[in-house]
């Protein structure tokens, strides 16, 4: 009676082939999660939040103050300056950046003097070179 199945050498060969493929593919994927988070933060800042802030400004003639923050896009601010024509909510929930931290909003901005600065401090949570911002960064 002849048994059907794989020999130990055949199994070892399959394991070696799979190991080689994993060794080739994994290093290429390692840095992609940070790139994806950076792109997601950039999209939220430049599209989602910028659109909501622009709609707020269009209705009220001003952007929310730094003290009112992004919460003013969800709930009518009770602190001055009071928005005269608030027609919100402009967003469903106040988003956090892809690293789980709140976005930083400053109005009037120090980089965008006419409107606001909006930024994420990135993975490290402190001001550094990995920040995602809504102004042009000039490399030295």
pLDDT per position as a tens digit, 101-130: 999 999 999 988 888 999 999 888 888 888
Residue 108 sits in a domain of what CATH number? 3.30.700.10
Confirm whether 91 is domain-assigned. Answer: yes
Q: Rounded distance, CA 15 to CA 23, Å?
A: 12
pLDDT per position as a tens digit, 8-52: 788 888 888 888 888 777 767 666 778 888 899 999 998 899 999
Tell me which residue range forms the domain holding 65. Answer: 33-133
Confirm whether 9 is domain-assigned. Answer: no
Judge whether residue 140 has pLDDT over 60.
no
Distance of CA 43 to the CA centre of its chain: 7
The stretch 57-84 carries a mean pLDDT of 94
Confirm whether 17 is domain-assigned. Answer: no
Q: How many helices (H) and strands (E) does the chain have?
A: 3, 3
Specify the pairing of strand 117-120 against strand 132-133.
Answer: antiparallel
Confirm whether 22 is domain-assigned. Answer: no
What pTM did the predictor assign? 0.74
Confirm whether 63 is domain-assigned. Answer: yes
pLDDT per position as a tens digit, 52-62: 999 999 999 99
**pLDDT the model gives residue 7:** 80
Confirm whether 25 is domain-assigned. Answer: no
Token reading at 93: 């929930």
Q: Rounded distance, CA 21 to CA 2, Å?
A: 33
Residue with more model confidence, 2 or 140 = 2
Q: How many domains does the chain have?
A: 1
Confirm whether 13 is domain-assigned. Answer: no
Q: Rounded distance, CA 22 to CA 37, Å?
A: 24
**pLDDT the model gives residue 94:** 87
Confirm whether 126 is domain-assigned. Answer: yes
């Amino acid at each position: 009676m002849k048994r059907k199945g794989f020999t130990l050498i055949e199994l070892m060969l399959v394991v070696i082939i799979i190991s080689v493929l994993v060794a080739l593919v994994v290093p290429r994927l390692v840095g992609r999660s940070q790139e994806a988070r950076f792109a997601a933060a950039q999209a939220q800042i430049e599209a989602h939040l910028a659109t909501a802030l622009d709609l707020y400004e269009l209705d009220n003639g001003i952007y929310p103050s730094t003290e009112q923050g992004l919460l003013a896009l969800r709930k009518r601010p009770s602190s001055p300056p009071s928005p005269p024509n608030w027609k919100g909510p402009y967003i469903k929930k106040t988003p956090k950046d892809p690293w789980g931290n709140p976005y930083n909003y400053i109005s009037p901005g120090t980089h965008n003097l006419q409107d606001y600065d909006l930024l994420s401090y990135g993975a490290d949570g402190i001001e550094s070179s990995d920040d995602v911002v809504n102004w042009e960064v000039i490399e030295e």
